[in-house]
Structures are given as C-alpha cells and as structure tokens.
Structure 1
Amino acid sequence: MVTLVDNTNKARPRHPEKANRPDTEVLRKPSWIRVKAPGSKGYGETRKIVKDNDIVTVCEEAGCPNIGECWDKKHATMMIMGEICTRACAFCNVRTGLPTALDPKEPMNVANTVKTLGLKHVVITSVDRDDLADGGAQHFVEVIQAVREVSPSTTIEILTPDFLRKDGALEKVVAAKPDVFNHNLETVPSNYLTVRPGARYFHSIRLLQKVKEIDPTMFTKSGIMVGLGEERNEVLQLMDDLRVANVDFLTIGQYLQPTKKHHKVDRFVTPDEFKAFERIAYTKGFLMVSSSPLTRSSHHAGDDFEKLRKAREAKLG
C-alpha cells in the first residue's frame, strides 16, 4: 500500500516513498547504452513548443535516454493527467503523491501541440490516477477526440494504466478507437511484488486480451524491461502469455536505474541477447518486435506503426 503525500510543497522529495530505502549501487553503463546529451536546434524547438502549450512529457518525467534523438525530430510523447502518480513503482522516475485536479484545457492543449509539432503519429500516456472513479478513462477519450478534431490525419497510440478495479473504464477508452492500444507489463510476474507492487500481472494480460475481444481490428502492444533480475525462461513465458492475449507488438528494452533509491540494475543485457529475444518473439507470432538496449515504448513509434500495418496486411494476404 502506497501512502500518498501532499506534493504542493516543491521542496519535498520527488519520491518520498523511497526516501528511507537503502542506497543501491548505480552501475556504470556499458558502451552500447550511452547516448549524447540533448542540445540540438530541433531539441530546443520541441522543448519550447511543449512548454508554450503547458504539456507534460514522459520523455522528461521518466528521464528517457532517447529524448535528444526524438525531440530533434519533434517526436514528443505526451503524458496526460498531471505529473504526479498515485503509485510508486520501484523502477519509475515519475513523481509519487496526491495528484492535482484534471485540467479541462489539457485535451485541446495536447491536440494543438500535436498539430504544431506536425506529428503523423502521436503516443499519449499518463500517470496512474487511482484517485479517479474511472482511472482517467474519460480524460483519455477527450484527448483522443481533441486530436482527431484538430489533426485528423494523425494516428494515435495510447499507453494506458491498468484501470485496476475501474469497471467500464477499458471499454470507454477502446470505444474512442485509438489506432494502437498499449499497456506495458514492465517485467515478469515474479518481480511484481518488488518492482510493480500496485499492479497485478494477470490483470494486465487480461486487459490486453479484452481490447481484442471488444475490437479485434485494434492493434495491441506491450513492453517490458530486462536487467531487473528476471530469468530468460520467464521472458519466454511472458511472450507466450501475450500471444495467448493476441498482442501484436512487443517491445523489450534495458532497465536503467534513475537514482540510488530505485530498484537496482541486476545486469546489462547485451545487444546479442536482445537480438535473440527478437528472433524468438517473431517465431511466436508477434507482428512487430522492437528489442534493443535503448528500446522504449514510444521510440520510433511512428515508423514502427507503419511496419505493423504492413505486417498485418502481409499476414492477411
């Protein structure tokens, strides 16, 4: 159980629930996972557009290593419903605490930002909002509708919370017809108690399965991090679980420890191991797989969506 705290005082810690945890060693990153610090002209332009429209991005809040590359191309991932999460996952760098009220202007702010950035494909995610009766489902719907109105040619990928104990929430979001429905498992089930204690592995699997039952034409997607102490056979079993749920697209990336108070990196998985996971995942029937040390849910999402569509067309003949 996570104790929520009032985060209105900016002097308070970003992760109060982790303050008393023992420090863990932050391992030195290997050469294959280092990236250049952001600072290009395109990065600066994207940053200004995001700030001018009062947009929160998961790129910044989660400390994504790909922010320099993506923002240089004006590819920003929107994070709706504020910057404070009601959960306290051991891997995550997003703030934990009591969230603020939903901003009624946010759907149109997101839509205008999508148009200004010229996004052909946008990824929209959110913090967990366990404090809301529907977990924020209606807000997702309003954001999707606003983007459709302002930028009708933009394809929409959503990365949602699990809507745990929020009856009817999933159905509401699927009815809004995003092009891709993504919900990340994050890790193998044996790690849930320590890595993702507020979530339930088989609930997340069932959520993805229900999306397909409601709308068989909707693309579904999920992702995990490796390097959290999982065993190889656990990753392969997770792939099978996702295929039983008829998930189309799997992403696998390296876990990177945000601070010494977060879950430790057990090891850095080699590029060759990521390639092996990719080959196995394709043999299990995924239409699209992205597996590399720097893979993240929204990294190259637009290009990957085009590949996903073509893969389905080829499968259907």
Structure 2
Amino acid sequence: MVVKPDWLRVKAPQWERIGNVKSILQDLSLNTVCEEASCPNIGECFNAGTATFLIMGPACTRACPYCDIDFDKTPRGLDPTEPQRLAEAVRRLRLNHVVITSVNRDDLPDGGAEQFVRCLQAVRQSSPQTTVEVLIPDLCGNWQALTTLLQAQPDVLNHNTETVPRLYRRTRPQGSYERSLELLQRSRELAPWVYTKSGIMVGLGETDAEVRQVMADLRAVDCDILTIGQYLQPSQKHLGVEAFIPPDQFEQWRVAGEALGFLQVVASPLTRSSYHAGEVQRLMQRYPRRRGDGVIA
C-alpha cells in the first residue's frame, strides 16, 4: 500500500461558507462534481464561493474504475428546468466564471449536447458578464453534436484525456484516446476563438515519457490549457494509486508544457480539471480572441 505523503494534505474548510454554497445548491436541487466525485478541493472552492456544476446526473452511463460518480446504464430523463435552476445558482453565487460539466450520457443520441446548450444560454441570459467553461464527455464521437454545442459559443471547451494511451483499457475502458484528441482538434477547427483545455491524472503507473507524449499530442491539436493532478483513490473498490508524484515533478511538467506552447499549464498534486478555473479570465485578457469567429453554421 502506498502511503499518502504530507504534501497532499488540504486545509480545513470554513464550514460557514461551505454551508452557504451547499444551501443554495440544495435549494435549487443541483449537483456538483465537487461532491459527487469526492474532490479534495471542495473546501477551498466552496469557501471561495465557486463550484463545478454537474448536469444530467448524478448517475453516469460509464463505470470508469477511477471515478466516484455513481453508475447507471439507464439514468433518468433530462430535466427541462435544470438550465434555469443552474443559471439562478450562478446569479446567486455571483460567479465571474462558471464550469458546467456532466456525467456521460451514452443513452442520448447527442450525448447531452443540447442540454449543455440550454444551460449555457440560460447562464448567458441571466449573467451576461460571466464567462462559461464547458467540461464535456466525448459525445461518443458525434461531431454534429459537438458543432451544435460550439455554436452556443462557450468561452472554454474542456475535455479530459485523463491518462496515457497505454492505461486506457484499464482506466477508461469505454473511452478512446484517439477520439478525445479528435474532439479537441475538431473544436479548434470549428471554433478557433474558443480556448481548448484538457487534463490528465498521474500516479496510475504512467511514465514520465508517456506524460510528455500526451502533452506533445495535445499541443499537436493546438490545445491551449493543460491541467495535471495526482490521482487519489476514492475508495477500496476503485483503482489503487501506483505512486504519489512529488511536487517537483509537477513543476518540471509545467515548465515543459509552457515550452511546448500551452498558454497555461496548471500542475500540482491537488490540481483538478476545474481547479482555479477562474484564472482563465486573465489568460483571455492576455491572449484575446473574438467570440464567434470561425464557427461552422
């Protein structure tokens, strides 16, 4: 058994602030990936008044052995009130930047793209100054659904590659590394103004060379933003941690990623895909793009 090191300790959260955020989420019957996926940063993010909203859930049609989200091959139907409830939460929390993600919905022909669109449009209507990041599944390779989603003009399109190709069969058996890269490449081609983003977990048995190859592959499809974080085992039934990667290795990857041309690399043991996501606003100011350019009608 690999012993968790000191650098993975997190600060005790301020429960008063967490309670306020949880109260709003419960009042509006919303799910967050912070809670459903047992994120270690929930205290920090809730204390800051932010959350990553999990739509079309809480059950997922895939049973990835690293993930703590519940599995259900026949999940509930879509809730038509969800977009407005989410938009109201964004308004109440006064969010400058919001991340909207979802479970995998392989039971839906479009993978849930239309629900993403409805949520994005509702947020834009109620909080027009809020920037919107969508963290999407692979949509089972439905590229028309991806086009529909991009036509709604998110500010950031995030899709995680999660791990290195060699570990896909064990870690992400229903996913495809090549399909994930293609999704990011098509996003760049369809909507070049959208900032593309991806993230991977480490500590599952990958090598340094494999991590660097994933970084190179992501830059080959012109991905803008990369996150790298330590995998933590949610429970004994999930995949075990093969190694705890020291902070200096994350720093080496960050430097290497910037040398490859990523606009932003966030790499640390506690980094998660939407951790400190609001910092993307500074990136958008530094590397401005005009919304809507190049979107295929």
Aligned to 2:32: 57
Alpha-carbon distance in 2 for matches of 1:153, 1:136:
25
Amino acid across the alignment from 1:283: A
2:65 pairs with 1:90:
yes
> For residues 194-209 of structure 1, what are the structure 2 equivalents within 5 Å?
194-209=170-185
The one of 42, 54, 58 aligned to 1:67: 42
Alignment pair present for 1:130 and 2:106: yes
2:16 pairs with 1:32: no
Identity within the alignment, %: 51
1:77 is matched with which residue: 47, 52, 60? 52
Can you list the C-alpha shifts for 1:69-110, whole angstroms capped at 9, x where unaligned?
110111011000010000011110000012111110000000
Which residue, out of 130, 137, 145, partners 1:154? 130
Post-superposition offset of 1:246: 0.3
Instruction: Spell out, residue by residue over 1:204-262, the C-alpha distance to the aligned partner (whole angstroms, 9 max, x if none).
Output: 00100101101111100000000010011111110111011100000000000001111
For this pair of structures, how many residues does the alignment match? 288
Map of 1:3 onto structure 2: none
- Encode CA deviations 1:44-87: one digit per residue, 9 max, x unaligned: 10010110011000000000000001101110110000100000
Are the counterparts in 2 of residues 158 and 182 from structure 1 also a CA contact under 8 Å? Answer: yes
TM-score of the aligned structures, taking structure 2 as reference length:
0.95
Report the secondary structure of 2:148's partner residue.
helix
Q: Is the contact between residue 281 and residue 289 of structure 1 (CA under 8 Å) also seen in structure 2?
A: yes
Alpha carbons 2:141, 2:179 under 8 Å: kept: no
State the distance in 2 between where 1:275 and 1:39 align.
Answer: 29
Who is 2:275 aligned against?
A: 299
Give the equivalent residue in structure 2 for 1:14.
none
Q: Output the CA distance in 2 between the equivalents of 1:311 and 1:225.
A: 27
- Which residue in the other structure is 2:116 paired with? 140
TM-score with structure 1 setting the length: 0.89
Is residue 134–residue 167 contact of structure 1 (8 Å, CA) maintained in 2?
Answer: no
1:283 corresponds in structure 2 to 259
Q: What is the SS of the residue equivalent to 2:31? A: coil
Matched position secondary structure for 2:226: strand
- Structure 1 unmatched runs, 5+: 1-24
Match in the other structure for 2:169? 193
Change (3 A) 1:239 1:45: same
Q: Which amino acid aligns with 1:73?
A: A
- Across the aligned residues of Structure 1 and Structure 2, the Cα RMSD in angstroms comes to 1.2
Structure 2 distance, partners of 1:309, 1:290, is 15
Q: Distance in 1 between matches of 2:141 and 2:217?
A: 21
Q: Is the 8 A contact 1:288 1:307 kept in 2?
A: no
CA distance in 1 between partners of 2:215 and 2:143 (Å): 27
Query: Do the aligned partners of residues 109 and 50 (structure 1) sit closer, same or farther apart at CA in structure 2, a change above 3 Å counting?
Result: same
Q: Which residue of 2 aligns with 1:120?
A: 96
Question: Cα distance, 1:37 vs. partner?
Answer: 4.3
Deviation at 1:36, TM superposition (A): 3.4
Alpha-carbon shift at residue 308 of structure 1 (Å): 1.8
Match of 1:85, SS state, is coil
1:81 counterpart letter in structure 2: M
Does the CA-based 8 Å contact 1:126-1:159 persist in structure 2? yes
**Counterpart residue number, 2:212:** 236
Amino acid corresponding to residue 223 of structure 1 in structure 2: G
Structure 1 partner of 2:294: none
CA–CA distance in structure 1, aligned partners of residues 50 and 273 of structure 2: 13
| Cross-structure match for 2:236 | 260
SS in 2 for 1:230: coil
Asked if 2 retains the 8 angstrom alpha-carbon contact of 1:221 and 1:247, the reply is yes
